[in-house]
Copies of this chain bind each other. A is one copy, B any other.
Amino acid sequence: MTPSRHDVLTIGQLAERSGLATSALRYYESLGLIHSTRTTGNQRRYPRTALRRIAFVRAAQQVGLSLDEARAALARLPEDRAPTTREWNAVAAAWQHRIDRQIAELQLMKAKLTGCIGCGCLSLTRCGLYNAGDRAAAAGPGARYLLTRDPDSGPEPGPAPGAEG
């Protein structure tokens, strides 16, 4: 079964089907998230499995993974076919832990807010919100993530300066 013209997508077609801009797709390819072959005229041709990989990446982003982390996760799934239940199970389980943790954090935040409503506080010392930023403050430079990144992974080369109070 050599791939016929319909088994393969131009970057424009892939963009339309995935909802991403062609620039984003080239960027993804530069990161190794998707792969393409080239025509004799040096144009990219993507296999249909690229759609699955993109879907995976977008889902990974929603779970809070960076593109680099998504690539690592993607490396544990087969390149050219849909993952088996077993393969998918391992990945999904890890994501569920992430999601659960994020949900737990949000619920904690919500509880703190409710407590604040009850006490009318934000009184500098007693308010639970006052200590809500502990983990976020420990993150490195760069744009801050909205929710806490994986707390028990990563080298964390640069400790936050002056954070010891």
Contact = CB atoms under 8 A, between A and B. Distances in A.
A161 interface: yes
Contacts of A82: 120-124
How many protomers of this protein does the assembly include? 2
Interface residues of A, number: 67
A51 interface: yes
Contact of A162 (B22, B83, B121, B134): B22
Given A117-B88, A146-B64, A19 B52 contact: no
A72 interface: no
Contacts of A127: 55
Main secondary structure of the interface of A (DSSP, over half): helix
Contact of A136 (B61, B116, B120, B136): B61
A94 to B, nearest CB: 10
A133 B63 contact: no
Contacts of A89: 117
